[in-house]
A and B are shown apart, each in its own frame.
Chain A
Amino acid sequence: MKDLLVEFDDVPDEILIYIFKKLYNVEVLYSLMDVNQRLNRIVHDTIFTRDLYLLEYLPDNKTSSPLSDSILDQFCSKILPEIGHRIETLYLEQTSMKRILHVTNYPNLNNLSLFHIDSETAMALFDGKRFSLIDFMVELISY
């Protein structure tokens, strides 16, 4: 009996947000942006777009790896151009950081952290440069 079924549309926003907060922001945006207008509105909220850790968490939830190609493509082609102006904090890793930083503007970016970057790349990118970030962190690869 259809009238007894609780469907997705019946679930209030507060519960959907509670569910989505069990996921990392990168997971929320990848899976839920553009599902429909309602979810699009929810995932555009700053709680999901303000801070982005653009690495993929491994099952132990402690270590990370670069985003897979399909996810990175989706972020660069669709997601980041749409939400770039909402992002205040970015955590990037070496293999994808150039592409991500070039794909759109980040006018409200205040905090940038770079992980798994070798010292040569860091020198080439940042030596002699100026940034007006509030917080800038580089984690170098140790050999």
Chain B
Amino acid sequence: MASTEADSSNATTANTENATSKIIKIQSNDGQIFEIDQGVVEQSSTIKTLSDLMDVGEVPIPLPNVKASILGPIVEFCNHHKNDPKPEPLDDDDDDDPNKDIYEPKRSDDIIEWDQNFIKQFTVAEGTLFDIIMAANYLGIKTLLAVGCKTIANMVRGKSSSEVREMFNISYDPPGEGLNAPNAIEGQAGTVPTTQDANATGPSPQPDPMNQ
């Protein structure tokens, strides 16, 4: 008996539903397994790549850099955001634009309320705020990475260097010690600033890590 158009349509719908409802398993480095659907997978470039490369079936995808106490909330975050419209790609790497600092408003005040409440469970004192940021970076979840980084930026804004040191428990290593010791600086390649004025003065050029 020949198939009808209705049968073809039903088959297509079923295939689509199967694709979006496909469940895969991911495993944290401490052995806990989480089930996620394709809507969550699409938000993580790392998981998406691994699931495309591996014939996963029932085998969980191992995520050796993420522990369960962080992966669980990440799954919750992605489940909440899986129906969000896809954002416009941002060109954050356009550092050659000399006007970037003025014409590109630096927004860190646009974290939506749900995300603000979500990120509050992670703190600097417990180390979990940097945990979630590094996990988001490893998993390639740009929206979560942005939320975490904007949160840190908001904490830094307006603080003096001593307040930043205290807030993040950073040890102070004065100039003249370690990398800045005179015998460490000698022989280091450094960028020599171009100058139009032969009498121009300035401090000794620092090695520029971004241009090495």
A-side residues, CB < 8 A to B, are: 4-13, 15, 18-25, 27, 30-37, 39-42, 44-47, 50-53, 57, 59, 61-62, 74, 81-82, 84-86, 88-89, 91, 104-105, 107-108, 111, 132
Say yes or no for B139: interface residue by CB 8 A criterion. Answer: no
In contact, A10 and B153 (Cβ under 8 angstroms): no
In contact, A44 and B145 (Cβ under 8 angstroms): no
Say yes or no for B133: interface residue by CB 8 A criterion. Answer: yes
Say yes or no for B9: interface residue by CB 8 A criterion. Answer: no
Residue of B nearest to A88 (CB): B98
* Complex: A1 Cα to B154 Cα, angstroms: 27
Best-surrounded residue of B67, B95, B126 (most CB of chain A within 10 A): B95
In contact, A107 and B153 (Cβ under 8 angstroms): no
9 pairs, CB–CB < 8 Å, chain A vs chain B? A7-B127, A7-B169, A15-B133, A19-B152, A22-B107, A27-B156, A31-B164, A34-B161, A91-B102
- B162 smallest CB distance to A (angstroms): 8
In contact, B195 and A107 (Cβ under 8 angstroms): yes
* Complex: A15 Cα to B135 Cα, angstroms: 11
* Complex: A26 Cα to B168 Cα, angstroms: 20
In contact, A105 and B206 (Cβ under 8 angstroms): no
Query: Assuming A50-B98, A53-B102, is B170 touching A35 (CB within 8 A)?
Result: yes
- A59 smallest CB distance to B (angstroms): 7
Number of A-B contacts (CB under 8 A): 150
Taking A21-B92, A108-B196 as given, write out 9 further A-B residue pairs in contact, using a Cβ cutoff of 8 Å, ordered by the A residue number.
A22-B106, A22-B108, A23-B106, A27-B158, A35-B170, A35-B172, A51-B99, A57-B106, A61-B106
* Complex: A30 Cα to B139 Cα, angstroms: 32
In contact, B193 and A32 (Cβ under 8 angstroms): no
Query: Assuming A22-B150, A36-B173, is B164 touching A111 (CB within 8 A)?
Result: no
* Complex: A39 Cα to B208 Cα, angstroms: 13
Query: Assuming A8-B130, A85-B195, is B165 touching A46 (CB within 8 A)?
Result: no
Say yes or no for B200: interface residue by CB 8 A criterion. Answer: yes
- A132 smallest CB distance to B (angstroms): 7
Complex interface: chain B residues within 8 A of A88 (CB)? 98
Query: Assuming A24-B106, A61-B107, A85-B195, is B161 touching A11 (CB within 8 A)?
Result: no
In contact, A46 and B210 (Cβ under 8 angstroms): yes
* Complex: A29 Cα to B16 Cα, angstroms: 51
Residue of B nearest to A23 (CB): B153
In contact, A51 and B100 (Cβ under 8 angstroms): yes
* Complex: A13 Cα to B210 Cα, angstroms: 10
- Which listed residue (B95, B107, B169, B208) contacts A8, Cβ 8 A? B169
Shortest Cβ-Cβ A-B pairs, 6 listed = A85-B202, A5-B127, A107-B200, A22-B153, A107-B195, A6-B130
Residue of B nearest to A135 (CB): B98
Stretch from B20-28, B42-50, B79-87, B174-182 at the A interface: B174-182
Complex interface: chain A residues within 8 A of B163 (CB)? 31
Complex interface: chain B residues within 8 A of A108 (CB)? 193-196
Complex interface: chain A residues within 8 A of B172 (CB)? 35-36
